Each structure stands twice: as C-alpha cells, then as structure tokens.
Amino acid sequence: MQKRIFAEPAKMPHKATIRVLDMSFNLTVFPVRDKQGTINGYAVEWVDCSAEVKANAEIKRVTNAAIAGQLNERINMAGFSIASHEFGNSVNQMLDAIIQPLNIAADSVDRIARGDTPPKITENFNGDFNAIKNNLNLAIDAINQQTVAAQAIAEGDLSVKINVRSENDTVAKSLVRVIDARQGLQKELQRLTEASKEGQLSERGKPEQFKGAYAEIIGGVNQMLDAILLPIGEGNRILAQISGGNLRERVNIACKGDHDKMKQAVNGIHSWLTELIAYVTKIANGDMTAEMGKASSEDQIHEWLMLLKRNIQALVVDTNMLSVAALEGRLATRADAARHQGEFRKVVEGVNSTLDGVIVPLNEAVEVMTLIEAGDLTRNVKGAYKGQLNDFKDTINNTITKLSQTIADVISSADQLGHASQQISATSQTLSQSASEQAAGVEQTSASIEQMGASISQNSENAKVTDGMASKA
C-alpha cells in the first residue's frame, strides 16, 4: 500500500482513517518538495479522531433507531469532543421536539381506535406536525358529529341533519340512508294506524317499498294484523250476541297471548251473568276474579254490573301497567285517561300528572347531561322545580359550574405548557443549524415521520369505517 501511495505523488496528499486498538486516527501523507518542486521526502500527519468517530457511530445508531420507529433512543455523549457534544445535544433536543407531537397524536389515534373519541388537540405545532394535528382534529370533529347524529337517530329524532363531507364519506351516507329508511317506515306505519282508526282493518303495509329488516318489519305488521282480525271478529260476533241477550255461544276458537285474554274476557262475561249474587259479593270485597252468570235473557242488572267490573279492571290494569313501566325505566309511558269515566278518569289523570311532574325534570337533566357528554358546558337545568327535584337541579348545575372551572384551569395550564414548548422549539432550531453535516440522517428521520403521518391518517379512515359499521349494527 505504501509503495502504491508513494508511486503516485500527483494524487497526494493521501488521506485515510486507521484504527489502533480503541483509538481512531486521520492519517495524511503529503510530499515534501524543494524550491524546484523535486520531492525530497514525505511527511505523515497523525490526528486523533477517536471522539469524532465515536460521535458519528453514536449518531448513526440513534438515526437508525429513529428510522426503525424507536423514538425513545437518544445520543450518549460520553467521550464526545466539545463540538460533537454540542451537536449531539442539538440532535437530542430535536428528537424531543419531534416526539411530543407524535405522542399526542398517537394517544388520540389510540383512543379513537378504542371507540373513545378524544378532545381536539389544542397544542401549537408547526409544519407537518400542524398538518397532522389539523387532520386529527377534523377526524375528531367528524366522529363527534356522526356520534351525535347516530344518538339522535337511536332516540327517534329523524330531523337530524347529516353532513356528507365528500363522495367517499360512506359513514355519513349510510346515516342518511338510515334516516330515509326510518322515515319511510314511520310514514307507512302511520298510514296503517290511520287506516285502523278509520276501521279499515283490511288495509296492509307495502313491504316491497323497503329492503332488508325494514321490509321484514312491514311484513311482520301485516302478519300481526292478519292474526288480530280473526279473534277480534269472533269476539265481536259473540259480544254482539251477548249484547242482544243471546248466550247460546261462546268463543271456542284457539287463541294465544292477548287474544286468549280477550277470549277469556268474553267468555267470562258469559259466566258472570250466571252467578249474580256471588259476583256482587266478590266485587264488594275487591275480588276481581269474580265471575257471574246471567239470571235471564232479559236481566239488564248484570250488564251494568259487568260494566262496573270492566271499569275497575281497566283502572287496575293501567295502574299496574304504569307501575311495571316505571320499574322497567319506561318513564314516558302513560295511561289513556280517555278509557276511563268519572272519578276513575280523575284517578288516572292524577297518576299521569304525578309522573309528568317527575319526568319533566329528569328529561331536562338527561338533555343537559347529554350536552355535557358532547363537551357543551353552556347549558344548565333551568326548569322551576320544588323539593328534592330542585335539589337535584342544583346538584347538576353546581357540577357543571365546577367542571367548567376545572376545564378552564386545565386549558390555562395547557396554554402555559404550549408557550414553553415554543421556546424550546426555537432554541432547538438555533442549535440544529450546526448539524448540517448530518442532513442525510435527519432526512431519514423526516421520512420516518411522514410514514407515521400516513399511518395516522389511515388509522383515522379505519376508525370512520368502524364507526359506520357500529352505527349499522
């Protein structure tokens, strides 16, 4: 090697880096010439570059770790020269500045993937990080909007407006189709209801206008109407005979469920009319299982007693119905006071009014808590209530006030932290100017960050599709 170096003096000075044990040296060989330019000999310069070699190796290690996504790795500057130490410290600060927004973005994406929509990112970032933040915030806004819309649809509010953001917004388009299908179903059921009120019991729904489960619902309603007509028609026929004093027939067709109850009621009337005294005695004692027979085909007293029992039974049924509904949490259920007469109607109206007095504040409280869940702390419970309901109202309003103050404190702390982060970022940018000779490593790091940004965007799209699937389910 030495012969080859000395044989080509025109290519000098010759430079090389050699390693001796755990030390590295920069070796420079150059010719020594006299005034005529004749080479009289060669000089060799040895420069200890161990610190620089170690620094380069450490920087390369951290760069490779960053490319592999191991962003917690930092440069170990032990044994570095002063210049290398300053450079390594700048690279570490740069990595710290990169990791903070990535960690925030990763936390938001993780929460979205688990179905927990996070709050919008409020920290201040620059460049590509700001683009990532903005894209995540747009995704969060979209998820929140679609969640609110889905909740409204689930609660029966079909007036909710769906924002279709693009041709590829399949979740929003699916929500629009759900609303259209439910509105069509609602109109069809209302049409059948009005036909039933008009006595047009032969009217049926049109399942061919719907698809899937919605068509099955209309088909099921049709089957239900078909199943209802035969027992009702037979029951009406027997009742018509009873009302005319004809007890020669009973309801003998096979019935199930509520139809069987109707059958038993009609046949019960028949039996009640045969045992007048026993019936009156049991009714007087509050025994609603009483049955009576008709003394004669002309006995009108039994018809009035039959009416008395039906009125009492209707009151008991509605009272029990309201009790069961309340136990099952169906607090909007009310008894139809129009089904009752006189003082019986006043009793049912009183129970309905009592329930209204409890449900109205509960409904307002639910509405306010729903807004809190969506991040809206501007609403309070405003209704004028009394007693414990007023205490309930005050508790909710006080909670909102304390929660609002807590959030304000958190936002203030976050703003202070953001200002400090900006100062650190500015310092990092100043220090990073001395790192130009490591541009290739930094470019590799930036490429890794861009790949992570693309992955985050893909995860956001996956979250949208998952949310759409959950809404359809």
- DSSP secondary structure of 396-458: HHHHHHHHHHHHHHHHHHHHHHHHHHHHHHHHHHHHGGGGGGGHHHHHHHHHHHHHHHHHHHH
At 300 the three-state DSSP class reads coil
Q: Does pLDDT of 278 surpass 70?
A: no
Of 188-202, 385-399, 433-447, the range with the lowest mean pLDDT is 433-447
Q: What is the pLDDT of residue 470?
A: 35
More confident residue, 441 or 219: 219
Of 160-174, 230-244, 263-277, 386-400, the range with the lowest mean pLDDT is 263-277
Q: What is the pLDDT of residue 274?
A: 58
Instruction: Kindly write down the DSSP assignment for every residue of 196-240, as one continuous string.
Output: HHTT-TT----GGGS-HHHHHHHHHHHHHHHHHHHHHHHHHHHHH
Q: Are 97 and 125 in contact (CB under 8 A)?
A: no
Q: Does pLDDT of 62 surpass 50?
A: yes
**Tokens found for residue 344:** 């019986």
Confidence of residue 423 (pLDDT cuts 50, 70, 90): low
Q: What is the pLDDT of residue 406?
A: 86
More confident residue, 278 or 216: 216
Q: What is the pLDDT of residue 226?
A: 80
Instruction: Report how far residue 28's alpha carbon sits from residue 34's, in angstroms, rounded to the nearest whole number.
Output: 19
Considering only CA atoms, which of 174, 171, 176, 140 is closest in space to residue 160? 176
Q: What is the pLDDT of residue 56?
A: 80
Helix/strand/coil percent split, the chain, to 5: 70, 5, 25
Q: Does pLDDT of 109 surpass 50?
A: yes
Confidence of residue 100 (pLDDT cuts 50, 70, 90): confident
Q: How many Cβ atoms are within 10 Å of 66's Cβ, its own excluded? A: 24
Considering only CA atoms, which of 426, 441, 372 is closest in space to residue 401? 372
Considering only CA atoms, which of 368, 357, 343 is closest in space to residue 390? 357
Q: Name the strand (E) or helix (H) holding 342.
A: helix 342-373
The burial of 252, by beta-carbon neighbours within 10 Å (0-12 exposed, 13-18 middle, 19 or more buried), is given as exposed
Compute the average pLDDT of residues 378-395: 85
Confidence of residue 277 (pLDDT cuts 50, 70, 90): low
Q: Does pLDDT of 450 surpass 60?
A: no
Q: Does pLDDT of 201 surpass 80?
A: no
Instruction: Report how far residue 298's alpha carbon sits from residue 453's, in angstroms, rounded to the nearest whole number.
Output: 90
Q: What is the pLDDT of residue 213?
A: 86
Q: What is the pLDDT of residue 248?
A: 78
Confidence of residue 111 (pLDDT cuts 50, 70, 90): confident
Confidence of residue 383 (pLDDT cuts 50, 70, 90): confident
Confidence of residue 77 (pLDDT cuts 50, 70, 90): confident
Residue 55 CA to chain centroid, in angstroms? 50
Exposure string for 322-334, b = 16+ CB within 10 A, e = fewer = beebeeeeeeeeb
Residue type, 136: L
Q: What is the pLDDT of residue 54?
A: 77
Q: What is the pLDDT of residue 439?
A: 47
Of 190-199, 291-300, 431-440, the range with the lowest mean pLDDT is 431-440
Q: How many Cβ atoms are within 10 Å of 102's Cβ, its own excluded? A: 16
Q: Are 116 and 466 in contact (CB under 8 A)?
A: no
- Per the prediction, the chain carries an average pLDDT of 76
Percent of the chain at pLDDT exceeding 70: 80
Q: Does pLDDT of 46 surpass 50?
A: yes
| CA distances for 374 relative to 85, 151, 341, angstroms | 50, 11, 46
Q: Name the strand (E) or helix (H) holding 39.
A: strand 39-48
